[in-house]
Amino acid sequence: MCSTPARSFPRCSPLASDTTTRASSDGRSQLSLLRVRDLKKTYGSGKSLLPAVRGVSFDVAAGETLALVGESGCGKSSTARVVVGLTAPSDGTVELHGRDVRDAPRDRDLRRSIQMVFQHPDQSLDPRFTVGQTLAEPVRLLMDDDDVRGRVDRALRAVGLGPEYRDRRPRELSGGQQQRVAIARALICDPRLVVLDEPTASLDQSVRSRVIALLKELQQERQVGYLFISHDLVTVRRLAHRVAVMYLGRVVEIADTEQLFEAPQHPYTRALLAAAPVPDPRRRGSRARLAGETPSAANLPVGCSFQDRCPLVHDRCRVERPLLAATQPGHDVECFAVEALASQSGR
């Protein structure tokens, strides 16, 4: 009989610095698991350069979910792909427990420690393979066949699917079941960090809620960190501990989730929240609306890139670029107007 509890997997091979984390009262670690510094990703070459990510910095702790939000094209997926090592950064660093993710191709433990779940489960699931084969693939070289089988069954149980799913192929599953298998595949090696890029966007509302509840439960059991990308601010509010708002390749605001939703500071964040469904319709009117077109990342104005859509724009914004600065502990905003208000109220 297997002594491992149904919902836990033995570690493939722990990273050396595992012991450096400590839990806070809500189970989140205080120390950084993922450390991203001044990350840049530029596509193209010669005269046609597209700076998709323009110097982004953030941390994710063990057991924590950091959400990345922002309009389509603002660089969320590019950031995600660099973090998991699918593409190289143009500049900047990404470290997991102090180890550079660019070493992942040569470092098996590091590679297994970061996993990704995509918007469409078919990006993770090969239609030719059964669920059992798909789940066994990342672990089959690490253990004998019986152990692999036990591990696959535990992975299925962890995402609420029975062993009868082992022999099915993706086309025999619903979208929600496919995404559960994709999550099981990401978690089978017990990663430290999972990057989830719009994981519930292709699911209907009830399945979406179940997948979010599952992700929360798995995080509490395993202390895995999530970098969670989503358009759906209702889901973000349910799952994320902190939120980073991106605009044209920059993080323009980052704060604890409740702080960000209750007291957004950057004019873009305020407009983004105003455009989203809010549970209390009385509050909708008090927030700014988003006007104008997003400029092309390939042809950005001098100064603040939000200037042409900003209700608070002033002369300085057209000549100088604001930098992310703390307006209070744990709440950083990239805006001259907010910075000025914060320094007045601090006097």
- For residue 12, report the phi and psi dihedrals to the nearest 5 degrees: -65, -55
190, 192, 198, 204 alpha-carbon torsion, rounded to 10°: 40
CB of 254 to ligand SF4, least distance (A): 15
CB of 62 to ligand ADP, least distance (A): 25
CB of 80 to ligand SF4, least distance (A): 25
Which of the ranges 13-21, 27-35, 66-74, 200-208 carries the binding residues for ligand ADP, by CB under 6 A?
Answer: 66-74
Compute the distance between CA of residue 19 and CA of residue 15 in angstroms, rounded to an integer: 9
Residue 304 contacts ligand SF4 per CB under 6 A: yes
CB of 307 to ligand SF4, least distance (A): 4
Which amino acid is residue 228, in one-letter code?
A: F
How many other C-beta atoms are found inside a 10 Å radius of the C-beta of residue 134?
22
Residue 322 contacts ligand SF4 per CB under 6 A: yes
Q: Which does 75 bind (CB under 5 to 8 A by kind): ligand ADP, Mg ion, ligand SF4, none?
A: ligand ADP
Where do runs of H (alpha helix) occur along the chain?
76-83, 108-113, 131-136, 145-158, 175-187, 205-222, 233-239, 257-262, 267-275, 336-346
Compute the distance between CA of residue 73 and CA of residue 248 in angstroms, rounded to an integer: 7
Q: Which does 50 bind (CB under 5 to 8 A by kind): ligand SF4, Mg ion, ligand ADP, none?
A: ligand ADP
Residue 74 contacts ligand ADP per CB under 6 A: yes
Q: Which x/- pattern over 2-41 shows residues binding ligand ADP (rule: CB under 6 A)?
A: ----------------------------------------
Residue 336 contacts ligand SF4 per CB under 6 A: yes
Burial status of residue 165 (CB atoms within 10 A of its CB: 0-12, 13-18, 19 or more): buried
Q: Which is nearer to ligand ADP, 115 or 230 (CB)?
A: 230
Residue 200 contacts Mg ion per CB under 5 A: no
Q: Is 113 helix (H, G, I), strand (E, B) or coil?
A: helix
Among 36, 52, 125, 188, binds ligand ADP (CB under 6 A): 52
Size of the site for Mg ion (CB under 5 A): 1
The sign of the dihedral angle between the CA atoms of 77, 83, 84, 87 is positive
Q: Classify the phi-psi angles of 255: left when phi > 0, otherwise alpha if psi is within -120 to 50, otherwise beta.
A: beta
Residue 84 contacts ligand ADP per CB under 6 A: no
Task: Enumerate residues 285-344 that contact ligand ADP by CB under 6 A.
Answer: 297
172, 164 contact by CB (below 8 A): no
Compute the distance between CA of residue 68 and CA of residue 242 in angstroms, rounded to an integer: 9
Take residue 284 and report the two structure tokens written for it.
Answer: 């909708």
CB of 15 to ligand SF4, least distance (A): 39
Compute the distance between CA of residue 203 and CA of residue 243 in angstroms, rounded to an integer: 22
> Which residues lie closer than 8 Å to 145 by C-beta, 6 or more apart?
none
Which of the ranges 67-75, 132-140, 268-276, 322-330 carries the binding residues for ligand ADP, by CB under 6 A?
Answer: 67-75
Q: Which is nearer to ligand ADP, 39 or 131 (CB)?
A: 39
Among 93, 133, 223, 307, binds ligand SF4 (CB under 6 A): 307
Residue 90 contacts ligand SF4 per CB under 6 A: no
Query: Where on the chain is the footprint of ligand SF4 (CB under 6 A)?
Result: 267, 304, 306-307, 310, 312-313, 317, 322, 335-337
Query: Where on the chain is the footprint of ligand ADP (CB under 6 A)?
Result: 43, 50, 52, 72-78, 297
